[in-house]
């Protein structure tokens, strides 16, 4: 519903944090981490542009609510332990 | 206290007296001594501010935007290539309704590489939603910076302002300047306190996504802000005059225009030269006047409409050229007066690009040409002045 110019702030101001934006819905492929091969170097965590990777005991956990499937983590991983898998496939 | 100082130091003193809290800047000729002086003020403790040296002008404006969004009064300065590099974020500053104040030392755009006065950089930013003030003296530079904060920091305006100094002619030339007492400036300009700002305890997103169903209402509001700025410039200048005893002419500074057969329109330092030429020509019996564009944004449409009925010819001097059209000030003046019953002849003179001197003799010849043209109309609406190879002699 369009608000009158008199009812709005000078510039759009939002009090909902960007975490409300579930960008994981955009994803076509998802990262799958091979925990055996992971050396806990944290490079994937540093490179993730959406901060969708968290470290638990040094191991990367991908938050699929926000991961857009860009594949940067898989590309940067030096031990090639992350592969991108099509959604719906194993 | 009266001091002898350059236009650049006048800018620095203006920002200091306005108590800018965050200054982010990148050096560029001929702006450098503004930020050098401000860095000195900050390091000596004379000015309590955060000075952020950045890696470029886009970052300088981005830092000012962030600090201003967090509720700080900010200042920056740039010139030419630096200003045009800022273009994208200049739009952000106005759209986010942040009353940032910046000095632009107006300088030619390259190539050809050139560091001298020319208004192309400033004119190229006229659509960014910034107020733009051209100055003709170092005193006006200092005063306008202080006034600009007061004009812009009100909920009805909340837009950024650009103070324009002509490269070298003002930036590096010393003149006597009255530097007002800090207490007096404080009584004129209260601390900046926006209605909404970034707060750590209350996270919010500023300038967030708006869909087609709501975008126009925000742009309409910005238009209203610029409209209000017009009235606010006049009111604030009256208040300034009351406290400091001087004013600089509102949006359009008229000099001996009341009975003038022809009027010259000019902006920046050349307008000071033109005042002398007006005096000299009046002594010889020629009724000429000067209308100095002080505010280019908001543009003084009403003032031009009222001037149109009182004169036979308007010579618009542009220190820049819009390729494929004409001088920007010329097209604006013409569009202002189109709806008037009585329309004087208007002719555009392109002069002084890249720091080429516009001498009193050249200004006199423009007036003489306009006195003739105002009676019989202009053959060429746009004439380039003092270009080697063209038949007309100007020197």
Q: Give per-residue pLDDT as tens, B291-315.
A: 999 999 999 999 999 999 999 999 9
Is a pLDDT exceeding 90 seen at residue A17? no
Say what percent of chain B tops pLDDT 90.
Answer: 96
Q: Is residue B80 part of a domain?
A: yes
Please name the member of B96, B155, B203 whose beta carbon is closest to the beta carbon of A11.
Answer: B96
Q: Please name which of B316, B312, B313, B344 lies closest in space to residue B329, comparing C-alpha atoms.
A: B316
B240 plus B270 within the same structural domain: no
Record the pTM.
Answer: 0.92
Residues of B within 8 A of A11 (CB-CB) are 95-97, 206-207, 218
Query: Is B394 a domain residue?
Result: no
Q: Do B205 and B271 have their domain in common?
A: no
CATH label of the domain that carries residue A63: 3.30.70.20
pLDDT in tens, B57-97: 999 999 999 999 999 999 999 999 999 999 999 999 999 99
Radius of gyration of chain B (CA): 21
Q: Do B97 and A4 touch (CB under 8 A)?
A: no
Q: What average pLDDT score do residues A69-83 get?
A: 97
Phi/psi for B295 (5° steps) reads -100, 115
Instruction: Please state, rounded to an integer, the average pLDDT across all residues of chain A.
Output: 94
- Residue B104 and residue B165 in one domain: yes
Measure CA B46 to chain center.
Answer: 28
Question: Per-residue pLDDT tens for A36-56?
Answer: 999 999 999 999 999 999 999
Q: Are residues B275 and B231 in the same domain?
A: no
pLDDT above 80 for A24: yes
Whether A5 and B203 lie within 8 Å, measured CB to CB: no
- The pLDDT of residue A48 is 97
Contact flag A14-B158 (C-beta cutoff 8 Å): no
User: What secondary structure, in 3-state letters, does chain A show?
Assistant: CCCCHHHCCCCCEECCCHHHCCHHHHCCEEEEECCCCCCCCCHHHHHCCCCCEEEECCEEEECCCCCCCCCHHHHHCCCCCEEEEECCCC
pLDDT for residue A1: 87
End position of a domain, from candidates B244, B268, B284: B244
Report long-range pairs for B327-333 (Cβ below 8 Å, ≥24 apart).
Answer: B327/B382, B328/B123, B328/B126, B329/B123, B329/B265, B329/B267, B329/B293, B329/B296, B330/B382, B332/B296, B332/B299, B333/B265, B333/B304
Q: Of B204, B228, B244, which one is at a domain's C-terminal end?
A: B244
B86: helix, strand or coil: coil
Q: Are residues B237 and B327 in the same domain?
A: no
Q: Which of A1, A10, A14 sits opposite B205 (nearest CB)?
A: A14
Contact assignment for A5 to B220 by CB distance below 8 Å: yes
Mean pLDDT value of segment B158-168 = 98
Contact B217 A4 (CB under 8 A): yes
**In this complex, do B95 and A4 lie within 8 Å of one another by their Cβ atoms?**
no
Percent of chain B at pLDDT exceeding 70:
100
Q: Is A69 domain-assigned?
A: yes
Q: For A55-75, how does the pLDDT look when each residue is reduced to its tens digit (9 = 90+)?
A: 999 999 999 999 999 999 999
One domain for residues B240 and B261: no
User: Which of B155, B203, B215, B222 should be substituted to probe chain A, the one whose Cβ sees the most A Cβ atoms within 10 Å?
Assistant: B203
Query: How many domains in chain B?
Result: 2
**Which among B69, B153, B214, B216 is the top mutation candidate for probing chain A, defined by the most A β-carbons within 10 Å of its own β-carbon?**
B214
Are B223 and B358 within one domain? no
- Kindly state the average pLDDT of the residues B230-234: 98
Query: Into how many domains does chain A fold?
Result: 1
Q: What's the whole-number average pLDDT of chain B? A: 97
pLDDT of amino acid A18: 80
Instruction: Let me know if residue B76 belongs to a domain.
Output: yes
Q: Where are the alpha helices (DSSP H) in chain B?
A: 7-17, 32-44, 57-69, 80-85, 87-95, 120-123, 138-152, 182-188, 215-244, 270-283, 301-308, 328-337, 360-376
Residue B368 CA neighbour count, 13 Å, CB half: 11
Pair B100, B93: CB distance under 8 Å = yes
Residue A35 distance to chain B (closest CA, Å): 36
Cα–Cα distance between B13 and B138 in angstroms, integer? 11
Is residue A8 in some structural domain? no
Interface of B with A (CB under 8 A): 95-97, 155, 158, 196, 202-210, 213-214, 217-218, 220-221, 224-225
Nearest to B217 among A3, A13, A16 (CB): A3
Task: Give the closest-approach CA distance of A8 to chain B in angstroms.
Answer: 8
ipTM for the predicted complex comes to 0.89
Is residue B395 very low, low, confident or very high in pLDDT (cuts 50, 70, 90)?
confident
Identify whether the C-beta of residue B101 lies closer than 8 Å to the C-beta of residue B51. no
Which range marks the domain in which residue B41 is found? 2-244
CB distance B330 to B289 below 8 Å: no
pLDDT confidence tier of residue A90, bands split at 50, 70 and 90: low
- The yes-or-no verdict on residue B205 having pLDDT over 90 is no
For residues B119 and B236, membership in a common domain is answered with yes
Instruction: Say whether residue A14 is in contact with chain B using an 8 A CB cutoff.
Output: yes
Three-state DSSP state, B206 = strand
pLDDT in tens, B237-250: 999 999 999 999 99
Q: Decide if A20 touches B, using CB distance below 8 A.
A: no
What distances in angstroms separate CA B282 from CA B93, B275, B290, one per listed residue? Answer: 45, 11, 12
Last residue of a domain, one of B209, B244, B279: B244
Give the model confidence (pLDDT) of B338-385 as tens digits.
Answer: 999 999 999 999 999 999 999 999 999 999 999 999 999 988 999 999
φ/ψ (deg, to 5) at B244? -105, -10
CB of B352 within 8 A of CB of B117? yes
User: What's the pLDDT score for residue B208?
Assistant: 87
CB pairs under 8 A between A and B: 53
- Identify whether A59 is part of a domain: yes
| CATH at residue B312 | 3.40.50.920
Asked whether residue B238 falls in the same domain as residue B258, the answer is no
Angstrom distance (rounded) from CA B141 to CA B136: 8
**DSSP state, residue B190:** P
Contacts of A10 in chain B (CB under 8 A): 97, 155, 158, 196, 218, 221, 225
Q: Do B155 and A13 touch (CB under 8 A)?
A: no
Question: Going edge to edge, which strands form the sheet with B313-318?
Answer: B252-255, B288-293, B262-266, B313-318, B345-350, B382-384
Distance between CA atoms of B225 and B156, rounded to whole angstroms?
6
User: What whole-number distance in Å separates Cα of residue B50 and Cα of residue B39?
Assistant: 9
């Amino acid at each position: 519903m369009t608000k009158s110019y008199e009812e709005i702030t000078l510039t759009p101001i939002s009090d909902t944090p960007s975490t409300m934006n579930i960008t994981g819905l955009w994803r076509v492929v998802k990262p799958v981490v091979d925990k055996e091969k992971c050396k806990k170097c944290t490079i994937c965590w540093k490179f993730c542009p959406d901060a969708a990777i968290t470290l638990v005991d040094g191991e990367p956990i991908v938050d699929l609510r926000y991961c857009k499937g860009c594949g940067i983590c898989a590309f940067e991983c030096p031990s090639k332990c992350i592969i991108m898998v099509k959604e719906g496939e194993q | 206290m009266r001091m002898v100082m350059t236009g650049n130091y006048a800018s620095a003193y203006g920002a200091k007296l306005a108590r800018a809290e965050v200054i982010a800047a990148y050096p560029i000729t001929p702006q450098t001594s503004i930020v050098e002086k401000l860095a000195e003020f900050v390091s000596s403790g004379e000015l309590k501010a955060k000075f952020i040296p950045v890696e470029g002008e886009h970052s300088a404006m981005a830092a000012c935007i962030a600090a201003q969004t967090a509720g700080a009064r900010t200042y920056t300065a740039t010139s030419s290539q630096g200003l045009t590099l800022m273009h994208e974020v200049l739009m952000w500053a106005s759209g986010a309704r942040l009353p940032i104040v910046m000095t632009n030392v107006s300088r030619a755009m390259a190539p050809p590489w050139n560091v001298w006065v020319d208004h192309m950089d400033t004119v190229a930013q006229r659509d960014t939603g910034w107020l733009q003030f051209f100055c003709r003296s170092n005193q006006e530079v200092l005063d306008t910076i202080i006034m600009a904060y007061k004009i812009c920091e009100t909920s009805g305006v909340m837009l950024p302002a650009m103070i324009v100094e002509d490269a070298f002619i003002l930036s590096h030339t010393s003149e006597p300047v009255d530097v007002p007492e800090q207490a007096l400036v404080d009584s004129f300009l209260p601390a900046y306190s926006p209605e909404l700002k970034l707060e750590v305890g209350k996270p919010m997103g500023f300038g967030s996504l708006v869909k087609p169903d709501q975008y126009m209402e925000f742009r309409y509001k910005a238009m209203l802000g610029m409209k209000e700025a017009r009235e606010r410039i006049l009111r604030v200048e009256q208040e300034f005059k009351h406290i400091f005893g001087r004013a600089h002419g509102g949006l359009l500074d008229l000099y001996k225009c009341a009975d003038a057969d022809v009027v010259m329109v000019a902006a920046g330092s050349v307008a000071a030269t033109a005042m002398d030429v007006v005096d000299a020509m009046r002594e010889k019996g020629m009724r000429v006047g000067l209308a100095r564009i002080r505010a280019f944004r908001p543009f003084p449409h009403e003032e031009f409409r009222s001037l149109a009925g009182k004169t036979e010819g308007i010579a618009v001097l542009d220190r820049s050229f819009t390729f494929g059209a004409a001088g920007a000030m010329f097209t604006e003046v013409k569009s202002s007066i189109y709806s008037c019953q009585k329309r004087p002849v208007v002719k555009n003179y392109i002069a002084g690009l890249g720091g080429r001197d516009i001498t009193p003799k050249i200004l006199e010849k423009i007036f003489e040409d306009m006195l003739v043209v105002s009676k019989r109309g202009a053959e060429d609406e746009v004439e380039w002045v003092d270009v080697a190879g063209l038949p007309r002699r100007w020197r």
